Structure 1
């Protein structure tokens, strides 16, 4: 406190002592309040789940526990079951001219959720305590959730509390059942599947970004490249237009097919042909070539994919011959061909024949 308040002389100490004492008192109260708050927060986080309060009238509301451990606390209470002291001698209360009290036989009728507090002499609902929402539902729902129910002359309120399929009680019951069988719950399954899909997407995206970063680093290391690309290129010569990108892809495709032609040379080869329909409902044919290179290794290359007007054997044969002609490959060098099990491909008389 000395760095906030200057020391006063002895003569004026009496006149200044009162406000200084009040300020120090306020500081102490605020400090104690902060310590209390931190202590309570730590207590809720470090709750001993094995020693939770069993009496429903003395329990701490679920909302006051740390959010990270609420499901653990709920699961612990559900595993223990509702507090039902069947052998307790419940005290009597005056209702008009008659004495009434809690009847332990009600535990048999509402065995899964009905609880009784010995300390408060009141009935509670375990489901609503665990998953009830404050401020929602009827007044009776709030009584069973937090305040307790003690109107023993009206046991029909138990059935009214249960209500219809969409009542607060039944929604809380469904949440409890879902919590106890989370692995089988459809929402949990969708959540897990969504997490897996998201993780797989992130891996793919990060891999692509890493490849781009690697290529950019290679360009930065080469001053001859980095000085003429992207932002350093002329406005009309950045080579980023879609048509230019497609032309680059075509050039790469031609370079690859030229390499395949040179590798095949005059050797014998086999072909694999298959037809399929793309997303736009157009028929297309894929052609794969299989051969042995100079090192004696069996090589299999994807050669081309072309659209075809129909998938008859005659049409497919015509397209195959056209593709081989375009790449200067003679069909007389073919020593084998493979297809799928479709009748237009494997028929003895009307099937695909080279």
Structure 2
């Protein structure tokens, strides 16, 4: 009681002096007095003050604060782990409403087994779930991953790496450059790591080269370790003088530039498909069919019902990718494997009264033509080969030697298909498939189409030969006309002047005037003299302007 005595008020000291000031003397009634004092207010107050002497109020507040911080740290770890999971799976964090977002719903699911998290979610203010905090957490994760990649490259036994860059526009139209780093670890295993997307104000070679240098500087990767560059074939990227690769090569000559193999394959597929009108039009009809399939729910239902009766494992028909030509083989195979159901669906769709009936009718007319089937048949094996080549180029373990070997294999395979026997075999194999569809008579039509194409080629060759013979005959006549005033030149003169009348207006214009002769007034044949032999043009008495147009013929005799 000595400790408590100094802290009593005068009223408290007088309440029970026997236990506080004067001391207890009535030992006969000690048990009764002790029980009464134990339940008194004075004793309770004394116990409370004594307990506070060992745990001060500031210590109690600090303990409560430490407990709260521990609980908040536990909830923050759950939030970070949830964000990491959603980002790893490529899922959106936020939704139209905060309570319906993927992150909040995932935390509610975790709170069923976590009392602290459940209590924290009941708070009115959830600071760690705001969009700003989420973005900060994502940036911290990104910086940590990129820093780890840069540390790995710097610690390589042989400090060498390559850079891969390509650009595209986002949905807002802003140009974004994606940058990847490629390196080989100590186990000779290649790695291609995505670094990030970087906005550029302009797409010139100088600006793109500055982006590459800035990225390497931020990652603390010296330029002397750069050994390779891979871009597309655009002038601002691969230009020999002002391209990004040329500007980087000025600082690091060992950074060899290699045109992206997959991009080259895509360009080859595009040129090959556009070179043939037959294949180009057939692919365009397939694309329009895919657009109709994706936009019309009625046509989709009709095709599903029609195709299910023939093939339970029918596939949807999708539009062609507008930029990636080497991935169109699947769409072509889907159309060829379901050609009968496609025609039946288009015919049923065209007989309706919907807004897309006219589109379906037009597509039906095109897919009934044999040249459409022929175009798809011819395009399928070529695009298949190029797609396999493109996939091979995109492998992370691909090397320059492997790429060259793959190109030779594809060249050999394509050359083996360029003969009449392979063409006939391809047609027969496709005719069997087409013969099972409503195009029962199409094999004959396809054969006629092939015969017509062959006749067109023969006719073109014959006309070309006739043109060569005519040119040779005209050249012989020009060489034999050495003296233009001699009678021997009559055969050639008859080509220029159809009349022997010396007073003919054409002859008068040629002899007496150097002004242009308007051919609209006189309906005589036009002779092109731009390719006359030099010995004829060097005759002093015969001067002809080298540019002869349809409107005038400048000649001076």
Q: Fold match, TM over 0.5?
A: no
User: Which of 1 and 2 has greater Rg?
Assistant: 2
**What is the TM-score of this pair, normalised by structure 2?**
0.24
**What is the TM-score of this pair, normalised by structure 1?**
0.36
Q: Which structure has more strand as a fraction of its residues?
A: 1
Q: Which structure has more helix as a fraction of its residues?
A: 2
Q: RCO higher in 1 or 2 (8 Å CA, sep ≥ 6)?
A: 1
